[in-house]
């Protein structure tokens, strides 16, 4: 089983990711300079990211915490689809990223927390000298 600290970092990162998007999206939804179709897709993407992060949070809390091997794979998929998605989009859509550094730094910190949780979890699971933390 991964250490409790790994699980807590993964849960915190997923919850913070949801909060970050819930704070950022309303401004885009109210921006009447954007076509209705673009605002539709922003809202749709918000539902996707919140849903995906909730699934990641639940996977970290239950199957990953129990040491179920498939859960690490699911959390790894979440790293690329959810937490890295913002940064991947910056490279794909040139000039589309938010102009302020705050979004980059905030989501970068959340990404670092998530990656640290994955690394600690795998280190705890694969290191022979470490014993699992009791619940």
Q: What is the 3-state secondary structure (H, E, C) of the chain?
A: CCCHHHHHHHHHHHHHHHHHHHHHHHHHHHCCCCCHHHHHHHHHHHHHHHHHHHHHHHHHHHHHCCCCHHHHHHHHHHHHHHHCHHHHHHHHCCCCCCCCHHHHHHHHHHHHHHHHHHHHHHHHHHCCCCCCCCC
Low-confidence stretches of the chain (pLDDT beneath 70): 125-135
Number of folded domains that form the chain = 1
User: For residue 130, is it within any domain?
Assistant: no
- Give the domain extent around 52: 4-125
Is residue 30 domain-resident? Answer: yes
From CA 44, how far away is CA 100, in angstroms rounded? 23
What is the distance of C-alpha 62 from the center of its chain?
A: 17
Does 24 reside within a domain? yes
Residue 97's pLDDT is what? 92
Q: Are 54 and 18 in contact (CB under 8 A)?
A: yes
The answer to whether residue 133 sits within a structural domain is no
Tell me the two tokens of residue 29: 């939804």
pLDDT of residue 124: 74
Q: In the prediction, which pLDDT does 123 show?
A: 86
Q: pTM higher than 0.75 for the full model?
A: yes
Q: Is residue 55 part of a domain?
A: yes
What does the pLDDT read at residue 127? 59
């Amino acid at each position: 089983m991964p250490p409790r600290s790994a699980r807590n970092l993964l849960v915190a990162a997923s919850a913070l990711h949801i909060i970050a998007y819930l704070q950022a999206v309303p401004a885009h939804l109210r921006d009447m300079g954007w076509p209705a179709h673009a605002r539709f897709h922003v809202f749709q993407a918000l539902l996707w990211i919140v849903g995906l992060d909730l699934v990641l949070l639940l996977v970290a809390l239950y199957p990953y915490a129990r040491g179920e091997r498939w859960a690490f794979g699911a959390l790894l998929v979440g790293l690329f689809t959810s937490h890295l998605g913002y940064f991947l989009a910056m490279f794909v859509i040139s000039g589309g990223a938010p102009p302020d550094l705050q979004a980059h730094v905030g989501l970068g910190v959340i990404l670092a927390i998530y990656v640290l949780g994955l690394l600690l979890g795998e280190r705890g699971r694969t290191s022979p000298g470490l014993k699992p933390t009791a619940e």
